[in-house]
Each structure stands twice: as C-alpha cells, then as structure tokens.
Amino acid sequence: LRVRKNLRMCGLATLAALATLSLPSPRDPPHGLWINRRTLLSHGAAASVLLPLRKAPAAAPAAAGAGVAVYEIASAALDRRSYRGLRLANGLQVLLASDPAAGKAAAAMNVAVGSMSNPEAWQGLAHFCEHMLFLGTASYPDEGDFESYIASNGGSNNAYTDSEETVYFFDVGAGALPGALARFSDFFAAPLFTESATAREVAAIESEHSKNIQSDGWRTEQLLRATRGVSGHPYNGFFTGNRATLRDGGGGARAALLDFYGEYYRADQMDLSLLGPQSLDELQRLATEQFSRLPSRPGPPQPLSLMSPFVVHRLALVHRLLLIRPFIPGTRLPCQRRAAMSPPIAIPIGPPASAKYDPLGLPLSPDQGGGLGSGAVASPFATLVVPVREQRAVSATWCLPVADFDTWLACKPQVALSQLLTARADGSLLSLLKRKGLGTAIEVGVEEQTRSFAVVTASLALTEAGLAAWPTAMGHLFSYLRLCREKGVPSHVFDDAKALAQLGFRYAEPSQPQAFVTATAASMPLYRPAAWLSGPSLLEGAGGPPTLRQLLGGMTPRAAMVEVCAKEVAPKAPLSEQIYGTRYGRQPIEGEVAAWEAAPLLPELSLPRPNPFIPKRLAIKAPQTLPRKEGVPSPTPSLLPAADGARVHFLPDRTFGRPRAFAYFLWRSPEFYTSARTAVTAELFAGMLAEVLQEATYEAAQAGLVAASGVSSDAFTVQLGGYDERLPALATLVASTVRSFEPTQAAFERKVDILRRQLRDAERRQPISLAGYRRGLALQPARFSNEQLAAAAGEVSLSDVAAMQEGVLREAQLEAFVAGNLRENEAAEMVRGVRAALPAAPLAAERLPIRRLRRLPPGGATRQFLAGNPEEPNGALEMYLQVGPDEGDDWLHLLLLSQMIDKAVYAELRTKQQLGYIVQCGSTEADGVRGLVFIVQSSVQPPPELEARLEAFLRLFRGTLLLTSDEELDTYRESLAAQMQDVDQRADGQASRLWAEVATRRYDFGRPWRSSKRMRRVTRDGLIGFYDKYIAAGGAGRCRLSTHVFSQRSPPKGPLRDDPLPDAFFPPTADGFGVDWAADRAVV
C-alpha cells in the first residue's frame, strides 16, 4: 500500500487517491442531492452542458444511444492510439482507447470505495469484497470461470483495495475481449457471494495477512495509525483484515458483504478504462452492451436542476477551470465552445463513500497519546521502532489539510518538494549528510492523499554515526525546509518541472495495455474527461508556488511525527502493536523540537540552480519509413566497424519517431568473480562509482537522461538512455569517471555497512525468496553464498577497491549496442569517445569467463532449510523441473504447459484447498537452460505436505490435458503465438530486447516471430509426450529439485535433508554471432 501510494504521488505522470470537491457538510446536502466532484466534471453538469466535446465529423462515433454522453480526450500528437470518453445512462464513466497495434486488450474498473469505508465491526471488509467478486457470478457461477477464461486466452488479472478505491483489471488476447467483458461486467452486476466461497476465501485473507506480518512496510504503517491516529477516524483502521476481524467467514460475514456491495458498488461511483485493437465504435458497443446493465444504487436516477444556486456556483468554478487553460505544444486539444443550455439531465444520485468520513478532520496528529487513552495528549515524542529487516532510518511525517484539492491536482506540489529534498547535487541536503557521515539516502513521498488531507513523509537513511546523532540529521532536514520557506523556492524549479512534464507527455510512448487501463481507471475520478490522459502527467496553472508554500508552511518540527527505525533501539522498545506485533517505544523530544525550531540556516545548503540539461534540439534524424506492423519482424541492428575484436551494433530509429536514444556497453572480463573477496571488492567499487555518478549526473537524470553502471560475475556494464541531444557527452562522462573518481574512506565505510546489512537481510526474506536463492546456489556452484560474501566483506579494505579501480578493464572484450534517434556517424563517435575514456586491450578468447549450470540427474533431490527470520510464520516449497537447453520444440512445449498449469494449480491449491496466498507456476531460464518452477508459500501446511499436494495435482492434470478440447488447445496456442510476437511496441522495449540478445551472445534478433510460427505447429501428441517425459512423476527425463524452507516455529521432526547433487554440467552457451538465424532451425 505504501509503495503504491508513493508511486502514484511522487512522479510527473502519477496518480492520486480518489477525491471529491469540497462541499457543505454531507449530513445536510443542498437540495437533498449528493453532488461529488465527478458529478460536476463528468455527469453533464460541466462537460456535456458547458463544453460538449465531440469528435470531428470524420471521426464521429456511432449512435451513442439514449442517455449516453460522448467526450473527446486530449492526447499527445504523437500518440498512435485514439480515444473517446463516455458517460452511460447509469452514470458509469468509460474511457475507450483504440490501438490497432496492440497485441492484447485490457480493461480496468475503479470502484470509488476502499478500506476507509470498512464498517467498524468488519475491518478488512472492502478487501474481502474485492476477493469475493472473482468467485462466481449469476451468469458464470463456476468460481474459476473468469480465471480460466483469461488464462486460456493468454491473459492475466488482479485487483487491489486502496484506502478510497478498489481497482479490478485484466488483459487478454484481443479476440477474447467480448467474452472477458461479459464475465467482468457480471462482477459489478450479479456476484454470488456464496456461503461456501465466503467461508473458504477468508482463509486467503488470513494467508495474505500472514504474508504481510513480517513486512516492515505494513508494520510501520499500522504502527503510525496506532501511535498517532485520532480516535474514531476510519483511516486508522486495519485495512486488509484477517480471520479474526472477518469472524472466520461466519457470524454474518455474507450479510455484511451483501450490505457493503449494495451500498457502494453502483455505476455512478465507477470508472471503466477499456483498450484494444478494435475500433472506437466497436469498443463503445462492447462497453454499452455489457455495462449499461450495471445498477445505479440507491434508487432510480433523479433530475438535477442546473439552475439551483449551489450548482450554478460550482459550475462557474468548473467553467473557469475548463476554459482558461494554456496551450501545450504537441497536444491535441478538444474544441472549446459554449453550447446552449440543455434541459435538466438525469444523474444517478447517491452519497459517495467518502461522505461518511470527509467531515471528520485530520486522521493523524503529533499530539495524540498513541495508546495513552482516548483524547490523551502527549508532549512531543519520537516513536522508536524495531524493524524486521536491517535498516537505520529517521523520518518525519506530517498530516496536513488540503485547502484546494483541484489546485493540488493541477500543480502537483509534491513534485517540486521531492526534487528539492532528494536532490543529489552540490548544496543539497543529501550531499551535506554524506559529507558529515550521517546519511546515505533520502526518500520523500505523499503516503496518502484525499480531498481533505495529505500525509507527507521525509525519510533519511542513516549511517551508524547518523543513528547515534539522529537529532542532528533531522536538524539539517528542518534547516533545509526553513531555507525553502524563508528564501522562497526559485521560480525556475516550477518552470523546469513544467517543461519536463510537457516533454514527457508529448513524447511518451504507449504503455502496456494492462498498465494503461489500471492507471487511467484510477485517475479518471480526479479529472474532467478531456484531461483523463493529460491531467495526471502535466503540471498546470499558477498554483504551484502558493500551494508549495502552504505545504512547506505545515512541515514544521512541532507538527512532525518523528520515527526512528533501527534494530539498535530494541532496548528502548518495550511496547508491542497489537495487529502486527511491532516492537516500539517512545522517547520525549521536547528539547529536540525546540532546537529544530531554532535551527539556523546552514551555509552548506543552497537551493537548486536552473537545470542546464533540459533538451532544446528535438529533431527526428531519420525518416520514419518502417512503421510497426503486426506479424512483420522489426528491423535488426547492423554491425559498425570496430577494432580490437569489439562488436558495435547499431539500429537507427525509423519506427517510433521520438528524440530519444539508448546506448549499452559491456566489457566481458574474468576479474570480478575470481573469489568471494574479489566479488565483494567489485560490488563495493560499483557502489562507490554509482554514488559518484548519481551526484555528477543528477541534473541530467532530472532532465530525462539515465545513466547506470554495474558489475556481474563476468562483465562490467554501462547503460544510458534518454533525450539524444546530450547522450554522447553523458556517455563520455560516465566512462571517464570509472577510473578518475577518488574512492574515499567515508564512501567505502558507507558501502561496506550497506552491503553487510543487505547480506544479513537476505536471510530474513520471505521463505519463497529463500527457496529461489537456495536453488540458485545448488545449480550454480561457482556462485558465492551470502555467508561467504559476508565473511569477505570483513576482509576487504579501501586499498583493495583502489587497486581494482587502477587495474579495471585493462583487458576486456567490448560489446556495444546503440539505438534510437542518432545517425550512424554519431553512434560511431559516441563509441569512440567511450573507448578513449576507458581503453581496454583485447581479451584472449581462452580467458573469456564461462558460466556453467549443473545438470540434474533423472529422478529427484530434496534440500531443506530453516527460514532465517525466527518470527516468520510461513514455510515454502519450490519444485524445479529441469528441462534443458533450447532444443527442438521443448521450449515451446514448456511455455504452453506453464500457461495451462498456472491457473489450474492456483485454482486447486490456493482457491479450493487454501494452502496459502502465494501459489504460482512458471517457466524459467538460467544460462540457457530452461525449467518449470512451482512455488507455494503456506502457514497451514509444512513443505513436504505442500509437495505431496502438488504431486497429486500433477497426477490428475494429465487427464486434464487429455480432456482439453481442440478448441481450447487452439486458444492457448494462438494466444501464446500472439504474445510471442507482441514485442517492440516502444523504442525502449525494442532496445532492451535487442540488447538482451547481444549481452547473452545469442544475436537471434528475429526470434519472436519465428517462435510464434513454430508455436502454431505444436501438437497435442507432442505436448503430452513432453509432459510424460519431463513433468509426470516417473518420467524418463524428469529431473526434480525440491527446496523446502521451514518456519522456525514448525521445524521438521528429523534432520534437514540435503540430497547430494552430481558434478555434471551443461555445456556453456555457444556464441551465436554469425549464425543464420533466419532459417527455421531446430535450436531457437
């Protein structure tokens, strides 16, 4: 939840939580009508009456039908998709997106109710309702029908419950969209909420809660509510729920679900986003046919008079918002004209979910006693928190009123706030904390946003010295905030942010269908229809400076809720939070708060300068002569001349038409992984280099230029991307820094401390992650364990890092790939600049690093371990069935089977048997060797029993294969074939795919299209033969490695198994350079 909120609130193209316009007290609505923000902006009052937004006659929609309003949507000029907005007669808002190049269709429904609407007696009910909608409807009563239909048509689905919204989403093969929508719409028209499913699914809620118990994010968020929450505010409830709060699915649980659904799940409080390759008219027909039947509760629609004084006043405000808008270059704006007033329109009337808590005021307060009793007031105190994972941090959280939510949405002050506080350049807060040895990172985010309040957090990651002096580190934070308030944030901060947001929107590439519909459905309630796409991305209006001033004005020391999170505070943490069991304590900080309030301005701190890296030259350098076509392979890179055995691949953009480019450099070398000590030294060197580059390239990163470097067991890599104007200079800067930066003792100590804590944390991960890690060690014996690396970290010194820097890449094999909006001579010059800055002699072929994977013998082996966290309630099973290299059609059979098995095993082990919240099946690849992996994490059964249940499922699944109809098999086959060639939708995605072929030395650039053709030739006999050989128990080629991770609370009765594995290995992956992959070869 916290991560999701931060993702939405802190970026330029992010989303806020659902909100409505501030109204008089909802206990006494004007004229007896409930009018929320979306009513004013969407339900005819503003958009269809004052500004009827229609397509031009050439693109006129099909007949809308009675009571259906149609809106035009502003979009970027380069956007290949076309859009249309609807409001159906029942009040449902719909965004349609037609993308002829899309390989999949997708839909998402946002219901404007979330966990803040949980009844006090039924904590977690909104989340429980979300789960239940997947378990059968009137027209499709089988609990697994929707999942099965989506899976068989190459799709996926999920949902999430947030504080004020619940969002359901799926993607599916384009041809299966009508059937998917028929099933999906029934979620919101006629769910069954059967007694049996209600009683059973509460176990899934309990398993999900069990998964979260040892997650610091969930723990600290609930602790904040417990210690700072205002009594009676629903924000401070238990959002996800568990078996106890939902009364084990009995005690009236079904009746509570029906009441909740009946009160809040109504069409006028829903927003649907729908994308597919179908035309807008066809998408509109599907949406209207399937969703017009959704009820609009409570009661029938009632006429809303647009002449009432209250509505006239609100419409005047909205009218100004709609008509006074700056022109944005590269944007298709809807026509703006005034239409004659229409007769009163029918708008479904009913109180929004937020009406019950909007008047309650702020939910959090620094003056709350936090367990001292209702209404108790405490002097300032810091909450001392003992985390599960290794961390040291101090944070300040403010709960602030939002005076003008619409202005906040338009100008997004959190963007400027984040840029100010997280800056890495000289004069920044982070630069000062690092120089003084106090901190290593800063995070700033809006944790929660509603129409009436915002929860803002600034968190400082501390060094060991910083933890001991955390009040000093916080003093520097408050000094910087004071600097912003007293000196004023320079206007160029807002101007730069606006300019970059406009560039980002103008040159944005289409996101994946499911990501698009999920994001737009979540943002639709916040904006008028014309701004459904542009609103979340752009920074508009003149409200930025005053809104940020208001925000900064509230971020004072006395208003802050301070939290210190570190294992070292355990002796001062005698208390325990009741839901997650988080240990915590309180430390009075009256003296510290007084000192922070008087903190002087520090001469080392300064406000940022104008960004010199904002691109100015955005010309497209090559004619766009190769538009992407379905089923037609993309162009492939050519080889540029290069000396000393280097390979330089180049692909100019003739498809996407964006002023961006990408450059990848890889130096293969054996020097990074010769021992655990060498591996640790390389990791520290890479971390210190990254820290230097972050500061040196910070302004470039803010302006859309990304640079990253890193080491692996066999190579050093540099990756760059962004607007092409300054990319060559950035590449040279990064390459020259590798050998020129000065490793300091302070930086070394920071990185060693971080690495040690990361290695300790690795053993406290969730059991399912530990199982995957243990499999990796078993199959890759050259890999060093966490214990080996931790021991080596105690031996490495700064001189080791300096020696590695001095000798790094003296001999290496260079491979580079440059793509995008660059001419051939520019690409060649960039590579020459990098090679001059970081010269390397050719590496002899016999010295090239080789990675080998262990070959499992036929039969099976089991290895057992204990979870590293003694408080972890879950155990885990991972069953890995090794298949082998890409030979014949085995890879295709493996993909098809994993697609068919995944949803079936989920339905059986998770939904029916309720073994655990995490149940998955999927294909995997390591060093060119493929396999099938099953994972189950459970708190109700030990790993050996989980494996027995999985084996029983697999014995029965062969019969499922035999009974699968030809039509079903064709559906699976066609959906996978379509997915295989549904690539290169974006320039960055194409560059990443082609680079993967280069980095793995496969160079099979046309593989997706050839594999797609071969998938269509896979037969039932071949599939069953593959299953019998590799998957079925007793199969001649079945090579099983089972990894069991036991909870320390439920260890095995006997000793842990550690079956030996033979020292047999697959041959290393061959170099595919020069292979004629165009032929339909046996090896893919």
> CA nearest 727: which of 639, 818, 609, 636?
818
pLDDT band at 297 (very low <50, low <70, confident <90, very high): low
Amino acid at 685: F
Peptide bond into 298 cis (omega under 30): yes
pLDDT band at 350 (very low <50, low <70, confident <90, very high): low
Round to whole Å and give the CA distance between 606 and 601: 10
Pick 138 or 301 by higher pLDDT. 138
* Cross-strand bridge partners of residue 814: 667
Structure tokens at 616: 């100015």
pLDDT band at 207 (very low <50, low <70, confident <90, very high): very high
**Residue 196 scores a pLDDT above 90:** yes
Round to whole Å and give the CA distance between 303 and 914: 48
pLDDT digits (tens, 9 = 90+) for 636-680: 999 999 878 899 999 999 999 999 999 999 999 999 999 999 999
Structure tokens at 774: 């243990």
At 300 the pLDDT is 34
Query: What ranges make up the beta strands (E) of 780-874?
Result: 813-820, 859-866
Average pLDDT, the chain: 88
At 46 the pLDDT is 26
* Cross-strand bridge partners of residue 563: 383, 395
Contact 434, 485 (CB under 8 A): no
Query: Cα 315 to the chain's mean position, in Å?
Result: 37
Assign residue 91 a region: left if phi > 0, alpha if psi is -120 to 50, beta otherwise? left
pLDDT digits (tens, 9 = 90+) for 380-412: 999 999 999 999 999 999 999 998 999 999 999
pLDDT digits (tens, 9 = 90+) for 576-617: 999 999 999 999 999 999 999 998 999 999 999 999 999 999
Pick 9 or 827 by higher pLDDT. 827
Q: What is the rounded average pLDDT of the residues 801-810?
A: 93
At 329 the pLDDT is 31
Contact 293, 24 (CB under 8 A): no
pLDDT digits (tens, 9 = 90+) for 864-885: 999 999 999 999 999 999 999 9
**Alpha helices (H) in 674-766, listed in sequence order:** 676-696, 698-702, 727-740, 745-762
- What separation in angstroms does the CA of 522 have from each of 38, 53, 830? 13, 22, 42
Cα dihedral sign, 328-331-337-338:
negative
pLDDT digits (tens, 9 = 90+) for 725-743: 999 999 999 999 999 999 9
At 599 the pLDDT is 87
Helix or strand holding residue 111 (H, E): strand 104-111
Structure tokens at 169: 């989403």
Query: What ranges make up the beta strands (E) of 849-909?
Result: 859-866, 875-884
> CA nearest 663: which of 652, 654, 679?
652
Query: Cα 225 to the chain's mean position, in Å?
Result: 25
Structure tokens at 844: 């002899």
Structure tokens at 288: 């209207």
Contact 716, 666 (CB under 8 A): yes
DSSP-derived pairing of the beta strands 583-588 and 561-566: unpaired
Cα dihedral sign, 240-245-251-256:
negative
Structure tokens at 382: 């810091």
Contact 55, 71 (CB under 8 A): no
At 17 the pLDDT is 27
Round to whole Å and give the CA distance between 38 and 45: 10
Residues in the chain: 1084
pLDDT digits (tens, 9 = 90+) for 451-508: 999 999 999 999 999 999 999 999 999 999 999 999 999 999 999 999 999 999 999 9
Q: What is the rounded average pLDDT of the residues 509-524?
A: 97
* Buried/exposed 348-365: b ≥16 CB within 10 Å, e otherwise: bbbbbbbbebbeeeebbb
